[in-house]
Each structure stands twice: as C-alpha cells, then as structure tokens.
Structure 1
Amino acid sequence: MHLYRILIDVGQRGDVAEYMDATLLRHDWALLRRLILKQLRQLWEERLSLTPAV
C-alpha cells in the first residue's frame, strides 16, 4: 500500500509500469484515494477509469 502511494505521488511512468499491478490498485483504490492529493486522485481516476468511493 505504501509503495503504491509513493508511486502515485512521485513515480515515473517506468516505475508505475514495473511495480504496480492494476488488479491490486483497483482493489485498494478506496483506501489509497484518501491518502493522495485531490488533483492526483482525479487524474488517476480519469486515466485508469478507477471508480471513486461513495
């Protein structure tokens, strides 16, 4: 979880591709989205079609 938060905040494209798993990201998104900046959260949700928590 902490690695994903770091990658979302400052990871480069290659880092994200190498270390992130899309299935795990989607599974943990409800928690992760509360830990990152609003602008980053919106960007990731738009680009990866992640569903915002209600």
Structure 2
Amino acid sequence: MGIAVRFTAVRMSKLTITIMRDDLSNLRSSIIEVIALQKRAEQQYNQAQAEVLKW
C-alpha cells in the first residue's frame, strides 16, 4: 500500500469518525427533545384527567 493510499485511508477514517460524532450529537439532541415532548404530553394528560374527575 502506497503512502498516498494510507494517507487517504487515514483521512477517510477521521472524516467518518467526525461525521459519526456529529450524527450521535444530533441523535442525542433529538432524544432529549422527544423526552421533553413526552413529559409535556403526560402533564397535559394528567391535568385533563384531573379536570374530568372534578366533574
């Protein structure tokens, strides 16, 4: 394997790792957002249930 090929392989590996880290960061952000939405929905549901019980 030539030096240029090895250098390109290393650069490709580093780029792939960078892209994967960015994807992981985006995934984490999405999960946090979904959990927050779920908690809000649960709170709204619980408030609605409390209102129903008042009737």
TM-score (norm 2): 0.23
Larger Rg: 2
| Larger relative contact order (CA 8 Å, sep ≥ 6) | 1
More helix by share: 2
